[in-house]
Structure 1
Amino acid sequence: MTKVKKKLAGFLTVALVAFLSLGILSGCSGGKNDEKVLTIAFPSTITTLDISDGDAATMLKEVGGVVETLVNVDSNFNLTPSLAVSWERVSETAWVFNLREGVTFHDGSDFNADAVKWCFDRQIAEDKSFSSYTKITSVDVLDTYKVQLNTSTPTGEVPEALTNVAACIIAKSSVDDQGKFIKPVGTGYFQYEDFDVSTGNSKFVTFDDYWNGKPDSSITERDILSMPDSSTRSLAVQNGEVDIATDVPFSDLATLKDNKEVKVEQFNTARTYFNTFNTKKDYLSNVEVRRGLLCAINYDEMVNGALLGVGSVPNGIFMEDVPWNNPDVASYSYNAEKAKELFDSAGFVDSDGDGMREYKGEEVKLNIVTGSRRPGNALIAQAMQGYFASVGVDAEVNVLEGTALSSAQSEGTYDLYISSAATGYVPSASYYLSQYYESTSKNAQYAGYSNGKLDTLIDQCRGLISSEEKYEVSRQAQVLAQDDAVVTTLANYGAVFAMNPKITGFSYSAAVHDFIVPYTVDIEG
């Protein structure tokens, strides 16, 4: 080859490489339809992607967008069709669901009645919470797209229960021939791509055959990073490592709001911060002592001071937007003098002049126990410690984790337990009451709490279908529960999101478990 030909060949090679490079890079920048990765911090450590695990199911449905349920719930707590198009109660213990046609799983197989039966049969066997929430004991296939769900007790709340993440639908190919879980094969707009069990991080990519069409978003991949530590999530969003983080430390809010590279949004949610008194402790078995302690709490100051305004002061057991909330229950508004009067009436007095009260001549140190997963737990506990001290009640705060926290509850070593719960985890008028107030619940059993009339009302509420009838019975139950002053709402939960300022299409629903990242979420530019 001559020198001229060699130079020409070299020039053409360079030009071709440059041309191809431009073509490849042009897919990573610019227009609306360009591919983009959305990175989200998930506030728990994911150890499996099996939907029988609560954290995994929550992440896969609400954040990953991989799996779906038969029924959805909107921001007004109304039920809406999803993989089921209609439903009907055919007996006290049976419901028939008509399934959506034309839906395929990520493996290409059909979503139908057989698929629902296989999935629910597996959940009944693998996940105790599934039967607890839904009361479903068996599934009958009536037609290709029709199933009958049979329950252990009369319940009018099967559709509500099927909005729960425990009722997500996966295909049979999610497990191997021996029934061992392999990967989540769902029906959502995103499908499984990768999972690193050592880090808990997941990768999901779009599914072209999604039954509800392509959303108006250019995101083609969602990377979900396990970040249980709130400070780590805060730094990650500030450093641009993640696009969306939730439950960041309240102490970081001022810094985050001043950062032009971060967008902060706050929402009210149906989740609550609540307390449970251990009535197995002699002094706490006295209702006047419990009411006195509640009257010693300055709720306005606690929400606007300790919680930095993230959340709101409760007006009843539920947030006001919840349609079955009863705002006309007993109020334990801040009144230090009333608290002292109640204590004195109950014989909870300072008998030795040391400034701290004793009960029946015995010294009392109120053990406040909580966990750190939710940002407000410890802040509320510390504030309450101060309020109690101001009325002569000695208290200590113990922030525990994992098995230590569970053991404190089950072994009854706590006096007052502070936690957080999603009151709309199942969007029904009886769910939250049954989980934390009903005598058969773990929370009530640990606390030694039982009220037969309350149990009857909760059970009656659970069996009704009419929303208005359910709401009325629930409101009656709330009156009894609040009067007993064993389990009470301390503050309505505030959800805080720190995001890439280029995020669009994000919306929040108070009716969800933690937060949903809608398919419409996008990144500008």
Structure 2
Amino acid sequence: MMRRIFITLIILLLLSNLSCQRVSENIPGAAGAKEVTDHKPAYGDTLVEGTIGEPSILIPMLAGDSASHAVAGLIFNGLVKYDKDLTLTGDLAESWDISKDGLVITFHLKKGVKWTDGVEFTAEDVMFGYKTIIDDKTPTAYSEDYKQVKKAEMPDKYTFRVTYEKPFAPALSSWGSLPVLPKHLLAGKDITKSELGRNPVGMGPFKLTKWTPGSEVVLESNPNYFEGKPYINRYVYRVIPDPATMFLELQAGGVDWMGLTPLQYTRQTQSAYFEKNFNKFRYPVFSYTYMGFNLKHPWFKDKRVRQAIAYAVDKDEIVHVVLFGLGKAATGPYVPDTWPYNPNVKRYEYNPEKAKTLLLDAGWKDTDGDGLLDKDGRPFEFTILTNMGNS
């Protein structure tokens, strides 16, 4: 059974973002970009991005996969956002004040911003979203940040204030797109059954116009976007689960932009053809792959079992063999050398013997000689769920 664990598990890996874009979509100033003579933007055209995974739901606080967040990120807004330099800046918040002790944040909201159905955005929407995300009935993985808030207030229609029990480092950054919802459409309803999960109403630069399951998600520019109409008229996500097939579509012009696998980046895009016809980029990104345990499952309630699995995975081998060195074994969701990164978090080195010992201590052993660990007559087997295109 230990051998099976080695094959199927991928533990937390920090990745570099690898992407390829046709030269016709030049980005002036980008490394490797071809020379362009006219930098003046113009309205129109469609950008087609390839994605291996299809969104599951487009309400941000309910989404647990990157495909959903990628699409929802073009539809919804938060009070704050990161700019291109990863500096926090205002989004729906015009400005904010932080008390000297860091416990109180007062957001001053932009006025005149409207949801795509024409209703004005106010502090009521932020308060409603906040109360929804901390509700135990809401199946979200992101509630803990908001449960640190001791008190939430609306001094007026365009002001939202939160007070924390104690200093909380990510307090400001947590007020992104997750907790802002249209109260006028969701109040008194079960958010998990709302039609907005597949037909969202947002305030972002794009709005959903078509979702063909297993095929594509089509967005059109929001002409009333409060920061100005986007220059791109349509943004299309084509769902292509197989990266090799997507790569062929890129070469054929079926997609304009895709993330590259390590193999594609290092071995399949070095030709003169690609140098001439595509721009290729590599940059660090807040992205990671991890295995999350269902702590309601009796096996995974035992800390020794979780630790055994961590010891059983050769993470460095995955980085060097599977990712061609384009990644790094990680201990959490933060990129090394950023302010929240803690280099002192305990690391689980590859140690299969220690993994076997921990499982034995937890009662798992091969009692019938079939090569599989078992306990109480049940073999140590479990299912790992992942999105399409990952294996």
- Normalised by the length of structure 1, the TM-score is 0.48
Question: Which structure has the larger Rg over C-alpha atoms?
Answer: 1
Pick aligned residue for 1:111 from 110, 121, 125 = 121
Q: 8 Å contact 1:140–1:147 — kept in the other structure?
A: yes
* 1:167 aligns to 2:179 (yes or no): yes
Q: Distance in 2 between matches of 1:78 and 1:68?
A: 16
Alpha-carbon shift at residue 70 of structure 1 (Å):
0.9
Q: Which protein, 1 or 2, shows the higher relative CO under an 8 Å CA cutoff with sep ≥ 6?
A: 2
Verify the 8 A CA contact 1:141 1:148 in the aligned structure 2. Answer: yes
- SS of the aligned residue for 1:107 comes to coil
Counterpart AA for 1:59: A
Deviations 1:18-53 (A, max 9, x none): xxxxxxxxxxxxx84252111123443235544554
Q: Secondary structure at the match of 2:218?
A: strand
Amino acid at match of 2:220: V
Q: 1:147 aligns with which of 138, 160, 166?
A: 160
Change in CA separation of 1:273 and 1:198 when aligned onto 2, cut-off 3 Å: closer
Q: Which amino acid aligns with 2:107?
A: F
Match of 1:312 among 317, 328, 345: 328
Greater share of residues in helix: 1
Q: Is the 8 A contact 1:118 1:172 kept in 2?
A: no
CA contact (8 A) 2:124 2:183 kept: no
Following the alignment from structure 2 to structure 1, what is the Cα–Cα distance between the partners of residues 333 and 211?
40
> Aligned partners of 1:46 and 1:181: how far apart in 2?
15
CA contact 2:207–2:222 (8 Å) conserved in 1 = yes
1:201 equivalent among 171, 194, 216 = 216
Structure-1 residue corresponding to 2:92:
83
SS in 1 for 2:236: strand
* Residue 146 (structure 2) aligns with: 134
Q: Counterparts of 1:347 and 1:50 in 2: how far apart (Å)?
A: 43
Which amino acid counterpart does residue 99 of structure 1 have in structure 2? L
Structure 1 unmatched runs, 5+: 1-30, 349-353, 360-364, 379-525
Query: What runs of 5+ residues in structure 2 fail to find an aligned partner?
Result: 1-39, 362-368
Deviation at 1:233, TM superposition (A): 3.3
Query: Is 2:239 the partner of 1:212?
Result: no
Q: Which amino acid aligns with 2:48?
A: T
Please name the residue that 1:445 is paired with. Answer: none
Q: Give the distance between the partners of 2:358 and 2:182, measured in 1 at CA.
A: 58
SS at 2:227 equivalent? coil
In structure 2, the CA distance between the partners of 1:88 and 1:240, relative to structure 1 (3 Å rule), is same
Task: Say if 2:203 is the partner of 1:187.
Answer: yes
Distance 1:347 1:53 in 2: 37
Question: 2:311–2:355: 8 Å Cα contact kept in structure 1?
Answer: no
Q: Kindly, what percent of the aligned residue pairs are identical? A: 19
**What is the SS of the residue equivalent to 2:268?**
helix
Deviation at 1:236, TM superposition (A): 3.0
Residues 285-304 of structure 1 correspond to what in structure 2 (within 5 A)?
A: 299-304=315-320
Say whether the 8 Å CA contact 2:60–2:68 is kept in structure 1: yes
Q: 2: distance between equivalents of 1:83 and 1:294?
A: 41
Q: Counterpart of 1:161 in structure 2: which amino acid?
A: S
Q: Contact 1:131 / 1:137 at 8 angstroms: preserved in 2?
A: no
Q: Distance in 2 between matches of 1:224 and 1:202?
A: 5
Distance 2:58 2:152 in 1: 24
Amino acid at match of 1:221: R
- Structure 2 residue aligned with 1:59: 70
The C-alpha deviation readout for 1:482-504, integer Å capped at 9, x for no partner, is: xxxxxxxxxxxxxxxxxxxxxxx
The number of residues matched between the two structures is 330
Residue identity matched to 2:92 = L
Q: CA deviation digits over 1:195-250, x for unaligned, max 9?
A: 235456333222333322456xx42221223344444433332332122223x544
> Which residue in the other structure is 2:109 paired with?
99
**Take 1:302 and 1:170, find their aligned partners in 2: how far apart are those partners?**
43
SS in 2 for 1:167: coil
| Contact kept in structure 2, 1:39 and 1:244, CA below 8 Å | yes
* C-alpha spacing 1:75/1:357, structure 2 compared with 1 (3 Å): farther
Q: 1:303 to 1:345 in 2, by over 3 A?
A: closer
CA offsets 1:84-124 (integer angstroms, 9 cap, x no match): 22154699997542212243333343322234345555666
Structure 2 SS opposite 1:128: coil
Cα gap change, 1:174/1:274 in structure 2, threshold over 3 Å: closer, same or farther?
closer
Contact 1:170 1:187 in 2 (8 A): no
* Pairing of 1:381-420 with structure 2 (within 5 A): none
**What does residue range 3-22 of structure 1 map to in structure 2 within 5 Å?**
none
Shift in CA distance, 305/210, structure 1 to aligned 2, threshold 3 Å: same
1:172 is paired with a residue whose SS is helix
Residue 321 (structure 1) aligns with: 337
> Aligned partners of 2:258, 2:99: CA distance in 1, in Å?
40
2:85 pairs with 1:72: no
Letter of the 2:284 counterpart: N
Q: Kindly tell me: are residues 99 and 320 of structure 1, through their superposed partners in 2, closer, same or farther at Cα, counting changes over 3 Å?
A: same
Which whole-Å deviations, capped at 9, do the CAs of 1:170-197 have from their partners, x for residues lacking one?
A: 47368999995364332222234x1235
| Structure 2 CA distance for aligned equivalents of residues 107 and 320 of structure 1 | 42
The secondary structure found in structure 1 opposite 2:325 is: coil
> How has the CA–CA distance of structure 1 residues 53 and 44 changed in structure 2, closer, same or farther, with 3 Å as cutoff?
farther
Whole-Å separation in 1 of the counterparts to 2:227 and 2:382 = 48
